[in-house]
Amino acid sequence: MTDPAADIILTTENLVKIYPGSDKPAVAGLTLNINRGTIYGLLGPNGAGKTTTISILCTLLQPSSGTATILGHDVARQAGAVRRKIGLVPQDIALYGSLTARENLRYFARMLKVSGTMIEDRVAECLQLVELQDCADQRVSTYSGGMKRRANLAVGILHQPDILFLDEPTVGIDAQSRNLILERLVELNRSGVTLVYTTHYMDEAQQICDEVAIVDGGKMIACGNPSRLVHDSVSCENLEELFLQLTGKQLRDRME
């Protein structure tokens, strides 16, 4: 019999983040347990605390209280060890527009400490995975929105991370690019990469996620397999209806 704890790759316990000058927590006691090899969707309306949670898990923010560990390493105290295990595909197109995709990937591969002899192979593999090999030597600034998103994804997987965080990776792109990205994410997951994923597209989450957590006001309000959550609900036919039922239809405008 295997120890269930051994399969947990990421855990948070009573995670709290209060930004300086704010009296309301962005994350208010969030507890998560994410198993290795899953696609985990972190869903919530604007201002729910999704990006803050991912920022803490990616060592970009210090939690105000609570703990978060990835592969047994505390994200606050062992940030260096955590950074070697994680990949991030941020919401912004975090690439150098005046460099080509290949030059961007080579640079980030070095920053990710990919072995020197492996860099060219990994760059070629990642470019092929996101189907940018034919325009790899063009400047990123000349790319379409979908191509930029795919290049953004390629950088996140260069070093074959154990866990990949994706913050709305399909926002604002055409159906073809979106479909390709989702297919590649599933492929990556099959190769053993755990994915933690935020999106506002509920159909997307229902399509690819093994498990979702719906958060609102920094707290978890539902968690589980998306199909099962829909099935167990009273009157919802899909995840979007369940999401609106749980979080309400009130607009969630927020100030940055």
Partner 1 sequence: MLLLANIKKELLLLSRDRLSLLVLFVMPMVLVLILSLIQDDIFRATGGAPTTALFVNLDAGDSGAELRRNLQSNGALTLVEDRAGEAFDVKSARQAVFSGDYQFAIIIPAAFTTEINQAAKESVQAALSHEDPSRRSSQITIVFDPAVRGVYRSAVLNALQLGVLGLELSRKSSAFEQLLPDELHRSMTEQMGSVFPVGMLPELPQISFDWTGQQLITLDEELASPEKYATLPTSVQQNVPAWTLFGMFFIVIPLAGTLIREREEGTLTRLMTMPVTNSSLLLGKVSAHLLICMIQFGLMLMVGKFLLPLFGTPVLELGSSPFALMLVAVSAALAACGYGILVGVVARSYDQAAIFGSVSIVIAAALGGVMVPIYVMPRFMQTLSIISPLGWGLDAFLDIFVRGGHLTTVLPRVAALGGFFLLCMIVAMVIFQRWRRGN
By beta-carbon proximity to partner 1, the closer residue of 98 and 179 is: 98
Nearer to partner 1, 61 or 205 (CB): 61
Q: Tell me: does residue 108 bind partner 1 (CB under 8 A).
A: yes
User: Of 104 and 206, which has the nearer Cβ to partner 1?
Assistant: 104
Nearer to partner 1, 158 or 222 (CB): 158
Q: What angle do CA 61, 64, 69 make, to 5 degrees?
A: 65
DSSP 115: -
Considering only residues 109 through 138, tell me which ones interact with partner 1, judged by CB under 8 A: 111-113
Answer whether 68's CB lies under 8 Å from 11's CB.
yes
Contact between 84 and partner 1 by CB under 8 A: the answer reads: yes
What is the nearest approach in angstroms of partner 1 to the Cβ of residue 92? 3
Residues 6+ apart with CB under 8 A from 247: 44, 45, 48, 214, 216, 221
Binding track, positions 146-185, relative to partner 1; x by CB under 8 A: ---------x------------------------------
**Binding window for partner 1 (CB under 8 A); candidates: 2-10, 29-37, 77-85, 174-182:** 77-85
Interface of this chain with partner 1, residues 2 to 61, rule: CB under 8 A: 20, 55, 58-61
Looking at the chain, list the stretches that DSSP marks H as alpha helix, in order from N- to C-terminal side.
50-57, 79-85, 101-111, 119-129, 145-156, 175-190, 202-208, 226-232, 239-247
What is the rounded distance in angstroms from the CA atom of residue 196 to the CA atom of residue 39? 6
Amino acid 21 reads G
Residue selected from 34, 70, 86, 202 as contacting partner 1 according to rule CB under 8 A: 86
The Cα–Cα gap between 173 and 26 comes to 28
Please state, in angstroms and rounded to a whole number, the distance separating the CA atoms of residues 47 and 26.
Answer: 7
Binding site for partner 1 (CB under 8 A): 20, 55, 58-62, 80, 83-84, 86, 88, 90-97, 108, 111-113, 155
